[in-house]
């Protein structure tokens, strides 16, 4: 028997989570929602998903556009074992009373405040804490990228403190209404950026301060990390730890990975929508000075949280232990198959 998953909000994250869930042998997508009958709604039907209307008052819009919907979001979630809420930031919190009323478990995304859920989640760092929970928030793309590497460094060498700079893609490729055409925007100007405190929602004991800048690109974020470790390590010790983790991908300038543009070009040949579910760490950037570790990583914001959503489903519905869930998710999404 497969568990029944509803996706509320078939946008950038929702469509990717739907496709990832469809690839699992222990879960199925019973429906996805859209607010309006645009090309994404048509694509959802084309890909075989049952389409529901996220805003009941908009049913007529779908009818007049000639797009068949199965019903409203309330009707969808009644049939679901779990909802993955992929609506825009802050809308998930507005949807929560509907999930509570229906008595259905729900996963929220990083655009929500941490108190929307019982737990802020990352599969590597705290899978076990999500077991059986009703409401879980998968932390944002930047936080997922930070938590994965910091969890590994902390469990292997102990982390004393972290100072990190986030260089953020300004918007996703499809977002033509927003943008920063010519400039570098400190965002926020005042320290810290929200990423450090967000890391602490998963790893509360980590001393971390982050600053963030937005730059005019849509492809990926880049993080420059400075991590003070408790143990003395060599660069090879760090590479060993990262190499063993399928959700970290090590690349090198010598292989032609000179920028995020080249990483995306490589992924275009491999994956649907050039999705990169892994942290992409430049092997050549890993440097140890005294007890301080430096490295640079790139994060594909549209994809990195997708495996975490799949693992959160298994944890909350008590379907598998941590290692088993991560292994299944990794295999189905070909994570870790392309170490370079």
Residues of this chain that interact with ligand NAD (CB under 6 A) are: 8-14, 33-35, 40, 54-55, 86-89, 91, 95, 109-112, 140-141, 172, 301-302, 305
86 counts as catalytic: no
Distance in Å, CB of 24 to ligand NAD, minimum: 20
Identify which of residues 172 and 331 has a Cβ nearer to ligand NAD in the complex: 172
C-beta of 189: minimal distance to ligand NAD in Å? Answer: 21
Q: How far is CA 47 from the centre of its chain?
A: 22
- The minimum distance between CB 34 and ligand NAD, in angstroms, equals 6
Of 80, 141, 149, 267, catalytic: 141
Q: Give the residue carrying structure tokens 């050039």.
A: 274
Min dist. Cβ of residue 32 to ligand NAD (A):
9
The candidate with the shortest Cα–Cα distance to 207, out of 188, 233, 226, is 226
Residue closer to ligand NAD by CB (options 120, 140) is 140
Cα–Cα distance between 107 and 99 in angstroms, integer? Answer: 10
- The minimum distance between CB 234 and ligand NAD, in angstroms, equals 34
Query: Closest-CB residue for ligand NAD?
Result: 11
Please, what is the minimum distance in Å from the beta carbon of residue 313 to ligand NAD? 16
Q: Mind telling me the catalytic residues?
A: 141
């Amino acid at each position: 028997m497969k568990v029944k998953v509803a996706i509320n909000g078939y946008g950038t994250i929702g469509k990717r989570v739907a496709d990832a869930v469809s690839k699992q042998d222990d879960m199925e997508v019973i429906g996805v929602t859209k607010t309006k009958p645009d090309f994404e709604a048509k694509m959802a039907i084309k890909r075989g998903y049952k389409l529901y209307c996220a805003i009941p008052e908009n049913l007529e819009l779908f009818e007049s556009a000639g797009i068949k919907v199965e019903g409203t979001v309330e009707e969808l979630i009644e049939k679901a074992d779990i909802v993955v809420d992929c609506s825009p930031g802050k809308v998930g919190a507005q949807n929560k009373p509907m999930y509570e009323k229906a008595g259905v478990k729900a996963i929220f995304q990083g655009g929500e405040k941490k108190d929307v859920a019982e737990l802020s989640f990352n599969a590597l760092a705290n899978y076990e804490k999500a077991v059986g929970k009703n409401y879980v928030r998968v932390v944002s793309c930047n936080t997922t990228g930070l938590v994965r590497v910091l969890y590994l460094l902390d469990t292997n060498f102990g982390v004393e403190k972290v100072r990190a700079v986030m260089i953020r893609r300004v918007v996703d490729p499809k977002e033509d209404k927003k943008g920063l055409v010519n400039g570098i925007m400190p965002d926020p100007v005042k320290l810290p950026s929200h990423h450090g405190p967000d890391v602490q929602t998963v790893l509360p004991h980590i001393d971390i301060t982050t600053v963030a800048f937005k730059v005019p690109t849509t492809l990926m974020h880049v993080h420059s990390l400075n991590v003070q470790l408790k143990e003395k390590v060599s660069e090879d010790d760090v590479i060993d730890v990262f190499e063993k983790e399928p959700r970290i991908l090590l690349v090198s300038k010598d292989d032609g990975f000179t920028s995020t543009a080249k990483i995306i070009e490589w992924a275009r040949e491999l994956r649907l929508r050039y999705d990169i579910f892994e942290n992409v760490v430049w092997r050549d950037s890993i440097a140890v000075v005294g007890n301080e570790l430096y490295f640079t990583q790139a994060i594909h914001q549209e994809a990195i949280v997708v495996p975490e959503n799949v693992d959160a489903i298994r944890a909350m519905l008590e379907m598998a232990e941590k290692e088993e869930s991560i292994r299944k998710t990794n295999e189905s999404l070909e994570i870790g198959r392309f170490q370079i």
